Amino acid sequence: MELTGAEIFVRCLRDEGVEYLFGYPGGAVLHIYDALYKQEEVKHILVRHEQGATHAADGYARSTGKPGVVLVTSGPGATNAVTGIATAYMDSVPLVVFTGQVMTHLIGDDAFQEVDAIGITRPCVKHNFMVKDVRDLALTIRKAFHVATTGRPGPVVVDIPKDITAHKAAYVFPKDPTLRSYKPVRDGDPAAIRQAAAALAQAKRPMVYAGGGVVLGNAATELTELVRWLGAPCTNTLMGLGAFPATDPLFVGMLGMHGTYEANMGMHECDVLLAVGARFDDRVTGDLDKFCPNARIIHIDIDPASIQKNVQVEIAIIGEAGLVMRELLAALKGTGVRLDEAALKAWWHKIDGWRARHCLEYDRANIEVIKPQFVLETLYRLTAGDAFITSDVGQHQMWAAQFYKFDKPRRWINSGGLGTMGFGLPAAIGVQLAHPDATVACVTGEASIQMCIQELSTCKQYDLPLTIVNLNNRYMGMVRQWQEFFYQSRYSHSYLEALPDFVKLAESYGHAGLRIDKPHDVEAALKEALGRRDRLVFLDFITDQTENVYPMIAAGAGHHEMHLATDRELA
């Protein structure tokens, strides 16, 4: 029996095991929407803006490891989705985004709602396809899922002209999605692994720097075992938080621009650095000339292009983080040598000295104004560290990263590479749908939340009991901080003069809202919100306007050139 392209589309999603499709209708995809109407297996989530669809699918993907799936119409539907696609691309998140396209014979004629979606998305996708024949549709969709989810994951766009969704073809689920030109490596080179084991076994001041690749590759268990066997300090990037348990004594916190003193000093003074699934981003390395000056560097990454890109490393191992770390641990055990115990002890003594600086300390004595850090500490305590936390971009994001101790991967959902304001709320939608019984909180700021605020309406439609933690400092705090430090406090356009009443705003969307402006009300408000499983609660915390994120390494400085809260005058 022949099916229409639209029916084939739906069958493909079903056969790929797609649970949710995040989308927004329009002319070019109406055949598909009609096919969706006639079935119940693939649940469609109607967002309020296509950016929201891509971020929601992204939150779904990051929190589950499964691909997020999006459907938008041609023209403005496709362009609205671009920010979300680029966000997923920078953080290597598997998405499959279907964009409607004008009819094949109209392509290139500046037809109504025509954009070159393939051209526009090309620089921010792992790959994209245009379907030109209904008989290619099923295989193309299969390939899209295959490419998005294997190797270094990433978003894939499939552009489907409207006439293709009306044409008919026989449907068989294609068994083999492989492409001759695409064969990601999985196993590391045994010789390189042996070399790495030998280097690590000789380390006197080892350090493990693990990133988002460990989360993406589901390799947290292997990382934890390896680090514990080594007895080495472990730091995570912003994207790697949760890859190693934050409450483990071997964890020294996040590294980089707003990382801890102990993590950054550890990087500066280590003699062997093991980097796993991390890409030596400039927010992490700072000044490359001053980066890890004394270390032999081992780098495990699935993407050859991540290796030797910013930092020259001595031992490179291309492969899946989990597989490689398992082999590496076996090789280490095989050598029969353990790390020099006295050296390790001296190393930890040094690290404990750095830890004693308590670089994340803040003014807890203040009972007048709410310190943002206090809200996050309380959130951590009340959820026993077990919530899914999504975040927007700014100071609040850094404080969430510093003060919420993630013991498990895929619990910390934020936009690191692109730094997309507006990500937090829609991402939380995807997370809550994937984990209906879990506690999901979105940590945001009054500027960020307004970038996708319309998704509060989606939350209402699907009864998602999120907790919104709005750290409202009436400033684009992160911008204000840079202006304070680097532009002599000229706060050019970083103050938000006309803020909405967020409580009323939440209420108008059908949610509950609370404004909290005294520190002693913080805990009760969070308890109230987290306890409500029947509705979304928007907590508007009026926080200290002048608080800055510390420690801080100015862009382009070295790891040892950190500014701490206690030496404010340096900043």
Partner 1 sequence: MRHIISILLENEAGALSRVAGLFSARGYNIASLTVAPTEDPSLSRMTLVTSGSEGVVDQIRKQLNKLVDVVKLVDLTDNERIEREMLLIKVAAEGEERAEIKRLSDIFRGRIIDVTDCAYTIELTGDGGKIDAFISVLQPRRILEVVRSGVIGIARGSITVKPDAPGT
Ligand X SMILES: Cc1cc2nc3c(=O)[nH]c(=O)nc-3n(C[C@H](O)[C@H](O)[C@H](O)COP(=O)(O)OP(=O)(O)OC[C@H]3O[C@@H](n4cnc5c(N)ncnc54)[C@H](O)[C@@H]3O)c2cc1C
Ligand Y SMILES: Cc1ncc(C[n+]2csc(CCOP(=O)(O)OP(=O)(O)O)c2C)c(N)n1
Question: Can you say whether residue 416 is alpha, beta or left, with left for phi > 0 and alpha for psi between -120 and 50 degrees?
Answer: alpha
Nearest to ligand Y of 326, 371 (CB atom): 371
Question: Can you say whether residue 211 is alpha, beta or left, with left for phi > 0 and alpha for psi between -120 and 50 degrees?
Answer: beta
Could you say which residues in the range 380-419 bind ligand X, by CB under 6 A? 393, 397-398, 416-417, 419
How buried is 490 (Cβ within 10 angstroms: 0-12 exposed, 13-18 middle, 19+ buried)? exposed
Least Å distance, CB 445 to partner 1, is: 31
Q: Which option in partner 1, Mg ion, ligand Y, none does residue 122 bind, with CB closer than 5 to 8 A by kind?
A: partner 1
Can you tell me which of 303, 340, 517, 523 binds partner 1, judged by CB under 8 A?
A: 303
Q: Which option in Mg ion, ligand X, ligand Y, none does residue 167 bind, with CB closer than 5 to 8 A by kind?
A: none
3-state secondary structure of 87: helix
265, 478, 552, 562: the active-site residue: 478
Least Å distance, CB 292 to partner 1, is: 18
Determine if 185 is a binding residue for partner 1 (CB under 8 A).
no
Least Å distance, CB 347 to Mg ion, is: 39
Nearest to ligand X of 70, 210 (CB atom): 210
Determine if 470 is a binding residue for Mg ion (CB under 5 A).
no
Could you say which residues in the range 176-235 bind Mg ion, by CB under 5 A? none
Distance CA 542, CA 554 (A): 28
Determine if 477 is a binding residue for ligand Y (CB under 6 A).
yes
Of 289, 227, 235, residue with least CA distance to 260: 235
Output the 3-class SS for 243-309. Answer: CCCCCCCCEEEECCCCCCHHHHHHHHHCCEEEEECCCCCHHHHCCHHHCCCCCEEEEEECCHHHCCC
Can you tell me which of 182, 462, 482, 485 binds partner 1, judged by CB under 8 A?
A: 182
Q: Specify whether 113 is catalytic.
A: yes
Q: Specify whether 145 is catalytic.
A: no
43-46, strands of its sheet edge to edge: 43-46, 20-23, 68-72, 95-101, 155-161, 127-130
- Residue spans of beta strands (DSSP E) within 378-501: 388-391, 412-413, 440-445, 467-472
Distance CA 298, CA 321 (A): 13
Nearest to ligand Y of 170, 499 (CB atom): 499
Of 496, 492, 475, 474, residue with least CA distance to 483: 492
2, 112, 333, 504: the active-site residue: 112
- The token pair at 466 is 């999120």
Q: Specify whether 19 is catalytic.
A: no
- Answer whether 469's CB lies under 8 Å from 448's CB: no
Size of the site for ligand Y (CB under 6 A): 19
Least Å distance, CB 445 to Mg ion, is: 4
Determine if 417 is a binding residue for ligand Y (CB under 6 A).
no
**Residues classed as catalytic:** 50, 112-113, 162, 478
Q: Which residues bind partner 1 (CB under 8 A)?
A: 118-119, 122-123, 126-128, 130, 147, 179-182, 303-305, 308-309, 312
Q: Which residues bind ligand X (CB under 6 A)?
A: 91-92, 152, 211-213, 216-217, 237-240, 254-259, 277-279, 281, 283-284, 301-303, 306, 320-321, 393, 397-398, 416-417, 419, 478
